[in-house]
């Protein structure tokens, strides 16, 4: 069989699986997940063995230390996967929730009810723990899931998948509900994302190249989890002591994550006062500072930024700094370079706050706080499958509710339209 037929078969099975998953109770779904967690615990040796193959191949291929680190499954990480599944079990099941009901004069009742999305494709890169995390979130919400991991992690992902599938099915999970693309052929992804009659959502988790390519070729709706190019804007009416504290936190508390600050925008009226202070504090924390011409002229320790800097998610102890003439200029900058993730204004002026809130088109807009709070736990969702930088269906952290949709259930006793 060719790749196209393989993907079609897999998608059809997933579609059947989704239909059956929609009939399972929360208790049944939790029992599938509990069996999966237990099985991962019981078969850790298989996971380590598979991971060793991937690690050896990765070293041979000269993967970077950072990539090798992401690939490695330590005792702690495997425990983390198991714990992750148990946390998903403990979360309330959103499926079936009533989202509103009204009656017509003829007695017809129209209910809006939360239901699973159907078949979700998760296309991810190097971290093998996504295999278990994504499966647990999708299955908890009665979806079928098709997993497609990175080629570097093929053996690790495959081992985790086999354990999950076997344990789930032994506990009564419908056969098609959990699927895994076993080939590393990249054309498999192209085939998969064409199958709009069977798949209902693609979530790509990875670099910009992966996401752009999938968006371009997919006929299935995609929710993008793009980079986090987060800005903090220090307004002319900012409390500068507060601003200093927030900027330090947003940049250095954990620089490698998507909600860390990458660019600092400072209103020209406070730049002379604020820039030297923030620059000194950040340099103390080993942050490399790159500024526009105006910033460099105020602080000669800054490196002159290039246009590329404004577009770069450093994920590192590097910060770009721009002096802006106005709030509008700050919003323009964010509009042009931002990634619709998380952006903050530091200001005591209510009007400036409101303009920023309304005009900055990001999933999370902050007033007088660090952007570092954007995540599923802080936002009250428990676990998240990622952070959507798209605008439809789900924005910001995507938890269980965001993996559902709704349908109208219309209950009658013979009503007809007059």
Site string for a second copy, 239-278 (x = CB under 8 A): x--x--xx-xxx--xx------------------------
Neighbouring residues of 169: CB distance < 8 A, sequence distance ≥ 6:
175
Neighbouring residues of 193: CB distance < 8 A, sequence distance ≥ 6:
121, 199, 202, 214, 217, 218, 219, 220, 222
Neighbouring residues of 359: CB distance < 8 A, sequence distance ≥ 6:
331, 335
- Indicate the residue among 154 and 363 with the shorter CB distance to a second copy: 363
Neighbouring residues of 328: CB distance < 8 A, sequence distance ≥ 6:
none
- Which residues in 44-83 contact a second copy (CB under 8 A)? none
196 binds a second copy, rule: CB under 8 A? yes
- Indicate the residue among 250 and 319 with the shorter CB distance to a second copy: 250
The separation between CA 313 and the C-alpha centre of its own chain, rounded to angstroms, equals 16
Region of 99 please: left (phi>0), alpha (psi -120 to 50) or beta.
Answer: alpha
Q: 240: number of CA atoms within 13 Å, CB side?
A: 14
Exactly one of 181, 223, 258, 275 binds a second copy (CB under 8 A); which one? 223
Of 15-23, 126-134, 182-190, 296-304, the segment contacting a second copy by CB under 8 A is 15-23
406: tokens are: 């709704």
Exactly one of 395, 398, 399, 400 binds a second copy (CB under 8 A); which one? 395
2 binds a second copy, rule: CB under 8 A? no
Taking CB atoms within 8 Å and a gap of at least 24, the contacts of 180-189 are 180/131, 180/146, 180/147, 180/148, 181/7, 181/10, 181/146, 181/147, 181/148, 182/154, 182/158, 183/3, 183/6, 184/151, 184/154, 185/3, 187/3, 188/3, 188/6, 188/7, 188/148, 189/123, 189/148, 189/214
Q: Is the alpha carbon torsion for 236, 239, 241, 243 positive or negative?
A: negative
Q: How far is the CB of 277 from a second copy (least distance, A)?
A: 15
Q: Which of 223, 183, 179 is nearest to 201 (CA)?
A: 223
140 binds a second copy, rule: CB under 8 A? no
Number of residues near a second copy (by CB under 8 A): 70
- Indicate the residue among 165 and 341 with the shorter CB distance to a second copy: 341
Exactly one of 80, 114, 355, 382 binds a second copy (CB under 8 A); which one? 355
Exactly one of 4, 19, 44, 333 binds a second copy (CB under 8 A); which one? 19
- Indicate the residue among 12 and 52 with the shorter CB distance to a second copy: 12
- Indicate the residue among 60 and 307 with the shorter CB distance to a second copy: 307
Of 48-56, 57-65, 262-270, 377-385, the segment contacting a second copy by CB under 8 A is 377-385
373 binds a second copy, rule: CB under 8 A? yes
297 binds a second copy, rule: CB under 8 A? no
- Indicate the residue among 37 and 117 with the shorter CB distance to a second copy: 117
- Which residues in 87-126 contact a second copy (CB under 8 A)? 102, 104, 108, 110, 115, 117-118
Q: What is the CA radius of gyration of the chain?
A: 24
Exactly one of 68, 210, 379, 382 binds a second copy (CB under 8 A); which one? 379
Nearest-10 crossing angle of helices 26-42, 129-140? 160
414 binds a second copy, rule: CB under 8 A? yes
Give, as one character, the DSSP assignment of residue 379. T
Start-to-end CA distance of the chain, whole Å, equals: 54
Q: Which of 381, 379, 349, 380 is nearest to 367 (CA)?
A: 349
Of 48-56, 216-224, 302-310, 318-326, the segment contacting a second copy by CB under 8 A is 216-224
Exactly one of 216, 286, 300, 307 binds a second copy (CB under 8 A); which one? 216
List residues near a second copy by CB under 8 A.
15, 19, 22-23, 102, 104, 108, 110, 115, 117-118, 196, 200-201, 215-216, 219, 221-223, 239, 242, 245-246, 248-250, 253-254, 331, 335, 355, 357-359, 361-370, 372-374, 378-380, 390-393, 395-396, 405-417
């Amino acid at each position: 069989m060719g790749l196209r037929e393989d993907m079609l078969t897999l998608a059809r099975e997933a579609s059947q699986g989704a239909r059956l998953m929609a009939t399972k109770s929360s208790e049944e779904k939790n029992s599938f997940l509990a069996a999966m967690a237990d099985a991962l615990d019981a078969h850790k040796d298989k996971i380590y063995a598979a991971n060793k193959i991937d690690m050896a191949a990765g070293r041979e291929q000269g993967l970077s230390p950072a990539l090798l680190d992401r690939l490695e499954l330590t005792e702690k990480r495997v425990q983390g996967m198991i714990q992750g599944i148990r946390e998903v079990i403990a979360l309330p099941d959103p499926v079936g929730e009533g989202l509103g009901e009204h009656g017509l004069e003829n007695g017809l009742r129209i209910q809006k009810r939360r239901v699973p999305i159907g078949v979700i494709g998760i296309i991810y890169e190097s971290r093998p723990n996504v295999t278990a995390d994504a499966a647990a979130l999708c299955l908890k919400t009665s979806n079928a899931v098709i997993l497609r991991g990175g080629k570097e992690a093929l053996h690790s992902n495959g081992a985790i998948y086999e354990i999950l599938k076997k344990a789930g099915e032994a506990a009564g999970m419908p056969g098609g509900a959990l699927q895994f693309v076993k080939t590393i052929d990249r054309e498999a992804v192209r085939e998969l994302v064409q199958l709009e009659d069977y798949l209902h959502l693609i979530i790509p988790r990875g670099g910009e190249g992966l996401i752009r390519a999938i968006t371009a070729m997919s006929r299935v709706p995609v929710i993008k989890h793009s980079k986090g190019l987060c800005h903090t804007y220090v307004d002319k009416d900012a409390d500068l002591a507060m601003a200093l504290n927030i900027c330090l936190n947003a940049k250095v508390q954990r620089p490698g994550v998507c909600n860390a600050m990458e660019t600092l925008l400072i209103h020209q009226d406070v730049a002379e006062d604020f820039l030297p202070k923030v620059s000194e504090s950040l340099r103390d924390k080993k942050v490399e500072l790159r500024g526009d011409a105006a910033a460099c002229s105020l602080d000669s320790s800054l490196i002159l930024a290039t246009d590329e800097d404004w577009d770069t998610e450093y994920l590192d102890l590097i910060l770009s700094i721009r002096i802006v003439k106005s709030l509008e200029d700050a919003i323009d900058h964010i509009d042009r370079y931002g990634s619709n993730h998380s952006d903050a204004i530091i200001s005591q002026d209510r009007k400036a706050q409101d303009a920023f809130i309304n005009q900055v088109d990001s999933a999370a807009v902050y007033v007088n706080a660090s952007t570092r709070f954007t995540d599923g736990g802080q936002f009250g969702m428990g676990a998240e499958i990622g952070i959507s930088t798209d605008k439809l269906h789900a924005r910001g952290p995507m938890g269980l509710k965001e993996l559902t949709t709704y349908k109208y259930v219309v209950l009658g006793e013979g009503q007809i339209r007059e």
